Amino acid sequence: MLGNMNRVALVLACGVVLAGCAAPVEYGPVAVYEPRGGAGDLLAFDGTIHISPACVTVVKNNEEVELAFPVDDVAWEPETQTLTYLGQSYRDGDPISLSFASDMRTDPSDFPPGCPVGRYYMVAPSASG
């Protein structure tokens, strides 16, 4: 009888541990970063979002730059290939207006594999983030 109680306790403990471990969030082609400190001067940029299997970029006047989004402000929906930023959903080809932090940097290794990191912008974190 004591053996069965130990098994039940073990199963319950495992269930509690597993319930507390959420599956890792997948961001697909979206580069994300953890904001640290202030964003400095903000620069506005309007363009067209381009979502490829490798990365997310913004295009304006035939110039394409990679984007890195604050991790708490963005979500990726793989089934619809939709990026949600600050509650607004974007698909490939949609117009987008963003603010970039002039003095924030990220490591290019933070970008998804296959994203040809050249020039990139770090999207400014939300005021609440």
Tell me whether residue 12 is in a domain: no
Range of the domain at 72: 26-122
Q: What is the DSSP string of the chain?
A: -HHHHHHHHHHHHHHHHHHT-PPPPP-TT-EEE---S---SEEEEEEEEEE-SS-EEEEETTEEEEEEEEGGGEEEETTTTEEEETTEEE-TT-EEEEEEETT----GGGSPTT---SSEEEBPPPTT-
| 15 occurs within a structural domain | no
Would 40 be classed as within a structural domain? yes
Confidence (pLDDT) at 111 = 79
pLDDT along the chain (129 residues), means of 10: 43 38 68 74 86 90 87 93 95 93 63 78 75
User: Does any domain span residue 10?
Assistant: no
Give me the CATH number covering residue 87.
2.40.50
**Rounded to two decimals, what is the model's pTM?**
0.73
Structure tokens at 15: 């269930």
> Is 16 within a domain?
no
